[in-house]
Amino acid sequence: MITKLVNWFEEKTRQNEESGQGGSQEVATAVLLYELMRADGDFSAEEQHAYEQILRSHFSLDDSQLNELLALTKEKASQATDFSQFTRVINATNSVAQKRGIIDGLWKIAYSDDVIDPEEEHMIRRVADLLYIPHSQFIKSKLAASGEL
């Protein structure tokens, strides 16, 4: 029984990779940003606005592209079991500076409602670790975002 389950999972993973459903860097980034908004259980208007602005500027999206990305993001986030499937895509396609930009975006969303919840800070720390961002850069990003208030 366990062998059948493992084989099914391996086949599903292979099919997803072959069909390109592993995720693009845009979707991977958007899901991480979206998950941060969900971390504290409070979807504030300020967080939603910051989220959309970050995606729009980071990927140079027009309104229709942004709406498509937002819809796809919610779908992928609902199917996700962990962050590693998204950070793997980002690590494979982004430079250190680009990954630092993602951490900066996470902090901007976290600070957008003027409340940093422990869940938000913990999630950003986890994502920074998965993106191989040094702790010093994590702290610099946090301080930069807090200075923008």
Residue 125: which CATH number? 1.10.3680.10
Q: What is the pLDDT of residue 24?
A: 87
- Asked if residue 51 is part of any domain, the answer here is yes
Q: What is the pLDDT of residue 148?
A: 57
Q: What is the pLDDT of residue 113?
A: 85
* 3 state DSSP class of 74: helix
7: CB partners within 8 A, 6+ apart = none
- Asked if residue 74 is part of any domain, the answer here is yes
- Asked if residue 18 is part of any domain, the answer here is no
Q: Which domain holds residue 69?
A: 25-147
Place of tokens 């029984």: 1
Q: What is the pLDDT of residue 23?
A: 58
Q: What is the pLDDT of residue 10?
A: 52
Q: Determine the Cα–Cα distance for residues 19 and 4; give it in Å rounded to an integer.
A: 22
Q: What is the pLDDT of residue 59?
A: 87
- Asked if residue 92 is part of any domain, the answer here is yes
- Asked if residue 43 is part of any domain, the answer here is yes
Residues of the chain with pLDDT under 50: 1, 4-6, 8-9, 12-13, 15-22, 149
Sign of CA dihedral 84, 35, 28, 111: negative
- Asked if residue 10 is part of any domain, the answer here is no
**Domain tally for the chain?**
1
